Amino acid sequence: MKLASLFSGGKDSTFAIYLAEKQGHEISCLLSVFPKSDESHLLHYPNLKWTKLQSESMKIPQLIAESNSDETDNELFQLEKLLQNAKEQFGIEGLVHGGIKSKFQYEKFESLCSKLHLTAITPLWNLEPIQYMNDLVDSNFEFILTTVTSDGLDDSWLGKVITKNDIEILQKHSEKYGFNLNFEGGEAETFVINCPMFLHSIKIKEFKKTWDGYRGRFEIVDAGLDFHA
């Protein structure tokens, strides 16, 4: 099936593409809606502009829209327009997204797909958290944390490439502090710098960290594709 992918550049949307392709689907385009701010309940915010590098590395074209409001209805309206464009340009038959447990996201995307006569594909839905995190690393996904907003996560995690050992530590912290190990509740955001679908990894050349004692952000200031790796 020819699919569009709702794409933020994080581990979930990227791994969803990986699994969908393994299921035999063709990812025709990436759809990225840039929310107005980090207050969005539906979309990921940090470092979205660098998804253009991931798009280039995967050789999958990207369609972009910008939301002028943090209201979910406005973001869905922008996504609907992107999906219409994707149907016209690429003949897509469905949408793949990286939802895991969020019924809010699941229902919104299912409703939108139904309206547009598209099939919603959710390869990560209800995956067991620790198994999923280990599957990411076992599948050679390299991703960093770009925001943290939770007890148990300090600024040392910002910009860190997550390893198997880190997953063990994160699991213990999630049990102690009660946050979602997959970060689907916004406890952290991620950005994929390399994976099997990338022809070239992403090299971060310059970054800026901010930390207020509870929440922090790793902002990519300059980056490019590593053609020499």
What are the pLDDT digits (tens) for 111-148? 999 999 999 999 999 999 999 999 999 999 999 999 99
Q: Does the fold of domain 140-226 match that of domain 2-121? A: no
Domain range 140-226, its CATH number among 3.40.50.80, 3.30.2010.10, 3.90.1490.10, 3.20.20.140: 3.90.1490.10
Helical H segments across the chain, by residue range: 11-22, 51-58, 72-90, 103-115, 129-138, 164-177
pLDDT value for 76? 86
Amino acid at 24: G
Instruction: Find all residues with CB under 8 Å of 128, minimum gap 6, and list them.
Output: none
Q: In what order do the strands lie in the sheet with 215-226?
A: 188-194, 142-149, 215-226, 201-211
When pLDDT is averaged across residues 187-192 and rounded to a whole number, the result is 95
- How far is residue 54 CA from its own chain's centroid? 11
**Extents of the domains making up the chain:** 2-121, 140-226
Please tell me whether residue 207 adopts helix, strand or coil conformation: strand
Stated pTM of the model: 0.93
pLDDT digits (tens, 9 = 90+) for 23-62: 999 999 999 988 765 554 444 556 888 999 999 999 999 9
Nearest one of 63, 68, 82 to 35, comparing CA atoms: 68
Structure tokens, 191:
């950005």
pLDDT digits (tens, 9 = 90+) for 73-83: 778 889 999 99
Q: Which residues pair with 31 in a beta bridge?
A: 6, 63
Please state which CATH number belongs to domain 2-121. Answer: 3.40.50.620
Using DSSP bridges, classify how beta strands 142-149 and 188-194 pair: parallel, antiparallel or unpaired. antiparallel
pLDDT value for 105? 86
Neighbours of 188 (CB within 10 A): 25
Structure tokens, 144:
């960093």
